[in-house]
Amino acid sequence: MRPALSLSLAVWLLAALPVVHAAGAAAPKPLVYCTDASPEGFDPGLWDSASTNNVNNQMFQGLVRFERGGTALQPALATSWTISPDARVFTFTLREQVRFHTRPWFTPTRPMNADDVLFTFGRFLDREHPFNKAFPANFIYPQNLGLAKAITKMEKLDDRTVRFTLAQPNVTFVTWFAMAFAGIQSAEYGAQLLREGKASQINRLPIGTGPYRFRSYAKDDVVRMEANPDYWGEPQKTQKLIFTISREAAVRVQKLLAGECQITSPLRDIDVAAIDRHPQRIRLEKIQALNISYLSFNLRKPPTDNRLVREALDIAVDRDAIFRALFPRGDAMQAVNPFPPAIPGYNRALRNEYNPERAKALLRQAGFPNGLDIDLWALPVTRPTNPNGQLMAQLIQQDWARIGVRAQIRTYEWGEYLKRANAGEHSVYMSGWSGESGDADDFLTPNLSCATNKSGVKFCNAEFERLIDAARATPDPRRRIALYEQAQVIFKRERPWITMAHSTVYIPTSKDLRGFRMQPNGGVVFENVYRE
């Protein structure tokens, strides 16, 4: 007979065994995502940055959603919808027995119903909404879409049916309900916050319907979420979802390689090679994303309110040199138009131009024979379409110096950067956009329509507006394409942006991650994603 184990060895072996649940399965592993920036808040309607949307998309859901890895629409909190023949009346049938999150600060007493939809969209449509009076807010994306002007009537037909009536036909309207801003909020929670005088808490302690619910947030450090036990969909194998915040791209890569996270925000070109050296441990996901980076001009103040100045600054930029420095793998594409060529309606006849001599002539024509002084804001976070904002700014600064333009580079912390840019403090600032629907309107209306131009800082052109409004209203694909092609001619003539790049997006994951699929906008969705 073999001798019995010593007591100390037996204790050590027991401690080394994996924790086993009652059902006999090992405890589920936490999933850690290394993200590049802190969320600005947790009220989806208030924000439109990718980093914030990635957090809120785990906790909130819209009436519809985009298929995983694609742009087709699927039912979400609505099980079905109907569209009138004139594309003006949209009726949604809501899913039954959807529960809002139960948290220490809120316990729902009923399933989601039409009142919650009316509460969510009522805040976007009515400045005098009681909640808006208690918590004044700027709903960036709904405002940029012109939502309040577009929707003339919102009706609760019964607890499970909601109808929207539009002022004008809009063939893209249903896609808006799949976007991050349209996550449905609890009317009960809103009423509780009003009673308690804590309306602003809706942006700090979120209540959604999604597969994960909020636990805690430490600014610039970590967001913790946990599986929602009352979720209407499949139970989540991942019980703890953690977003750890690391601004430096190299730090995120190091954490991934060290096993401190299982997935990171998109890589820079120069980081891909480092990941490629570890094929046994790391899987590299790749997609040609629906995205763009650009430099946006302030159209309210001199000298960038002058179209000739904007054109001069545009054609003075040596994009070829910038791409050699920022995109050495060659996977990015120079942007000509305000959306990528994969989207129907792209105008292939338009071109970029690099002509410093003509740029000097344009400056003279604009009244600046001796050049001018300007500020250039460098993007403070890394993005696939702009992996190094400071380097891009320095290269552009050199290009502009050749035509007599003296650019002072500035930058700020990400939240401050966005706030100051929205206030119009800049002359030129770096920005970008990722589309979700695969439709040209998803790039044009939120960024270049007059609805975005409340302060005069951004683009508003009556001829351009007429064309994109007409395109949004027509179901004829060939007619829509022709209208978008015309709109891009006006965009290129007026130069509200210096278009820079459309990029491939790389997201690295550990080999034990299962169920993850990249979204066309480079975003992340962790529903039904887990570690083996």
Average pLDDT over residues 290-306: 97
Average pLDDT over residues 186-203: 98
Transcribe 257-300 into DSSP letters. HTTS-SEESPPPHHHHHHHHT-TTTEEEEEEE-SEEEEEEE-SS
Is residue 341 very low, low, confident or very high in pLDDT (cuts 50, 70, 90)?
Answer: very high
CATH 3.30.540.10 correct for 288-505: no
What sign does the CA torsion over 53, 59, 64, 66 have? Answer: positive
* pLDDT per residue as tens digits for the range 343-387: 999 999 999 999 999 999 999 999 999 999 999 999 999 898 999
What pTM was computed for the model? 0.85
With tokens 């302690």, the residue in question is 205
Is residue 268 very low, low, confident or very high in pLDDT (cuts 50, 70, 90)?
Answer: confident
Residue 27's pLDDT is: 77
Find out whether 219 and 38 touch, Cβ atoms under 8 Å.
yes
Mean pLDDT of the chain: 93
Residue 15's pLDDT is: 37
Average pLDDT over residues 180-200: 98
Question: Domain residues of the chain, as ranges?
Answer: 31-285+506-531, 288-505
Helices (H), 77-177: 114-125, 130-134, 140-145, 147-150, 173-176
Is residue 25 very low, low, confident or very high in pLDDT (cuts 50, 70, 90)?
Answer: low
Average pLDDT over residues 229-247: 97
Q: 3-state SS of 384-415?
A: CCECCHHHHHHHHHHHHHCCCEEEEEECCCHH
* pLDDT per residue as tens digits for the range 419-474: 999 899 999 999 999 998 999 999 999 999 999 888 889 999 999 999 999 999 99
Q: What number of other Cβ atoms are within 10 A of residue 75's Cβ?
A: 14
Q: Which of 47, 228, 145 lies closest to 452, judged by CA? A: 145
- Going by C-beta distance under 8 Å and a sequence separation of 6 or more, which residues neighbour residue 219? 38
- Going by C-beta distance under 8 Å and a sequence separation of 6 or more, which residues neighbour residue 258? none
Find out whether 517 and 507 touch, Cβ atoms under 8 Å.
no
448, containing H or E segment = helix 441-448
Average pLDDT over residues 23-49: 88
Q: Coil, strand or helix: which one is 319?
A: helix
Q: In whole angstroms, what is the distance from residue 328 CA to residue 350 CA?
A: 25
Amino acid at 459: F
Parallel, antiparallel or unpaired: strands 89-94 and 282-288: unpaired
Residue 281's pLDDT is: 93
Q: Which of 330, 331, 335, 303 lies closest to 317, judged by CA? A: 335
* pLDDT per residue as tens digits for the range 56-72: 999 999 999 999 988 89
* pLDDT per residue as tens digits for the range 103-128: 999 999 999 999 999 999 999 999 99
Residue 217's pLDDT is: 98
Residue 271 or residue 339, greater confidence? 339
Parallel, antiparallel or unpaired: strands 497-502 and 333-334: antiparallel
Residue 16 has pLDDT above 70, yes or no: no
Residue 504 or residue 357, greater confidence? 357
Residue 292 has pLDDT above 90, yes or no: yes
Question: Which CATH architecture best describes the domain 31-285+506-531?
Answer: 3-Layer(aba) Sandwich (3.40)
Helix %, strand %, coil % of the chain (to 5): 35, 20, 45
Parallel, antiparallel or unpaired: strands 64-66 and 73-75: antiparallel
Q: In whole angstroms, what is the distance from residue 355 CA to residue 353 CA?
A: 6
Residue 4 has pLDDT above 90, yes or no: no
